[in-house]
Amino acid sequence: MESIRIIGSYLSPYVRKVLVCLELKGLAYQLDPIVPFYGNDEFSRISPLRRIPVLITEDVTISDSTVICEYLEQQFPLPALLPQAAADRARARWLEEYADSRLGEVLIWGLYNQVAIRRAVWNEAPDADLLKKIHEQDIPHVLDYLEQQVPKDGWIFPDFGIADISIATFFRNAEFARFKIDAQKWPLTAAFVARVLAHWSFVRLHAFEDLIFRVPPAGQREVLIAAGAPIHPETLGVGSPRRGILKI
């Protein structure tokens, strides 16, 4: 089995998506748990957009969660995380793109950035007006769409896969930002997200996520090592953050 190294934080929804795929495929990995703001020059070299996650093996170094998951699907096809029918595969890829783009924009660079990142990384207060817009306009808009896409029971396709993972991973961060889906207004989405986040592949990561959520980024590595997380012995992290073309 080839050695797999993942660069990126347990608290990133994009990293979480990749880690869940690795868990489902039974692949061992080691994590360099950096927040991209704390990446060094080598991180900039291998991830020129300064995005996480990055996957490193003996054969390839690639960034972007979708590209990584597609690589894992091709290299390790079982269990399959994409449905077999062409139309279903296209829909799964669309839902993954919608999640990475729109849910990322609203729940991460909107909500989570304001509530968590600005305080933890930049010591800045959230923008109250922006948060009001996110809660009153942006989140209802995405939930209205998802309510039409998710099933009453089970998964989006018969087998648990990338479409389910891609949507739910963002709502784990929403939980950290103290947001809960209103089950009266969006019952299907609320139940679906709860089912996915309760899947064993997500639950295996919960303890490490919970452990570091209130730990400053520069101190998370040591805490995770002490807790027995699969941490890579080398890091691309530095002690202070810098701004740039970044994505959590």
What's the pLDDT band for 247 if we cut at 50, 70, 90? very low
What's the pLDDT band for 120 if we cut at 50, 70, 90? low
- The tokens describing 160, both together, are 């648990």
- The tokens describing 47, both together, are 């991830």
Model pLDDT, residue 74: 95
Model pLDDT, residue 239: 78
Q: What is the mean pLDDT of residues 208-236?
A: 94
CATH 2.60.40.1180 fits 86-200, yes or no: no
Model pLDDT, residue 127: 77
CATH 3.40.30.10 range(s) for the chain read 5-80+201-226
What's the pLDDT band for 78 if we cut at 50, 70, 90? very high
What's the pLDDT band for 117 if we cut at 50, 70, 90? confident
At residue 248, does pLDDT exceed 60? Answer: no
Model pLDDT, residue 134: 93
Write the single-letter amino acid at 68. I
Between residues 39 and 73, the one the model is more confident about: 73
Question: What is the rounded average pLDDT for all residues in the chain?
Answer: 92
Q: What angle do CA 52, 88, 108 make, to 5 degrees?
A: 30
> How far is 24 from 107, CA to CA, in rounded Å?
25
At residue 244, does pLDDT exceed 90? Answer: no
Class of domain 5-80+201-226: alpha beta
What secondary structure letter does DSSP report for 135? I
Q: What is the mean pLDDT of residues 183-199?
A: 98
Write the single-letter amino acid at 225. I
Q: What is the mean pLDDT of residues 78-106?
A: 97
Q: Where are the beta strands (DSSP E) in 34-122?
A: 54-56, 61-63
Q: What is the mean pLDDT of residues 69-91?
A: 97
pTM exceeds 0.95 for this model = no
CB 85 within 8 A of CB 95: no
At residue 241, does pLDDT exceed 80? Answer: no
Between residues 122 and 99, the one the model is more confident about: 99
